[in-house]
Amino acid sequence: MRMRMRELERESGVGRETIRFYIREGLLPEPERATRNSAVYSDDHLTRLRAIRRLQDERFLPLAVIRSLLDEDHGARWLHPEALPDLDSVLRARLDGAGGRLPAAQVAADAGLVEDGLADAAAEGLIELAGDGSVSPRDARIIRLLAEASKLGFDREHGYEPFAMVRYLNVARALAEAEVREFFENIAPHVDVAQAADMAENGIGLMNALLSELHTREILRLLDARRRVANDNGQGGRE
């Protein structure tokens, strides 16, 4: 479908100034222009606008992350609404259950995470605080894990700044973006929602376990290499 700006505004619910901002920021492609003052928009513009609104309204993602998700290097079929539209709600119900939101400050206090630690975690995007100060059950578990890390000595007192934890968020985000894109590009066309949910539910656990083993192996490999270099330099003990 080809449409003018007024039609795109009506169909997407997004105002023209915001649409122009998205184009400048690279979230939307430039429209076709018959003349300097005549722009024509396509279904791709409408699909991407709806995706941006959903990612902002439901996932509270910043525009930089949304831009990455909308990157068309690998195609944009995963954005199409007909591709397993209910998978997110079905999978969330399976993975998160029916647990309600929890007061973040109380969770942090019970876990022994200092107040600054909670504020740092929210500021760095490690947890998502709602307006009432509550968090999801999953983010509550993240708070408890951060508290455990602090008790082990991964804290400012030992020179470990909170932003260092962001590396794990960045790795998780990059993996999630690649996995979701590949799933919708390659697997979604061949399965229904129930099959997709089964694959995703079991696959997430499997890949988390695989990542844990790879992470541990690489740490041990680096420590072994460090010891060997030290021995070669005459700084370590004998093997």
How high is the pLDDT of residue 154? 87
What does the alpha-carbon distance between residue 195 and residue 198 come to, in Å, rounded to a whole number?
A: 5
| pTM summary value | 0.66
All structural domains of the chain: 1-70 (1.10.1660.10), 84-99+170-239 (no CATH), 101-159 (no CATH)
Tell me, what's the pLDDT at 37? Answer: 77
**Confidence tier at 203 by pLDDT (50, 70, 90):** very high
Residue 173 has pLDDT above 70, yes or no: yes
List pLDDT tens digits, range 71-115. 654 445 556 656 777 888 888 888 887 678 999 999 999 999 987
What is the structure's pLDDT at 26?
A: 86
Amino acid code (one letter) for 39: A
Dist CA 80 CA 159 (whole Å): 46
**Single-letter amino acid code for the residue at 21:** F
The mean-pLDDT minimum among 11-20, 96-105, 153-162, 206-215 falls in 153-162
Contacts of 208 (CB under 8 A, 6+ apart): none
Tokens for 224, please give them. Answer: 């072994």
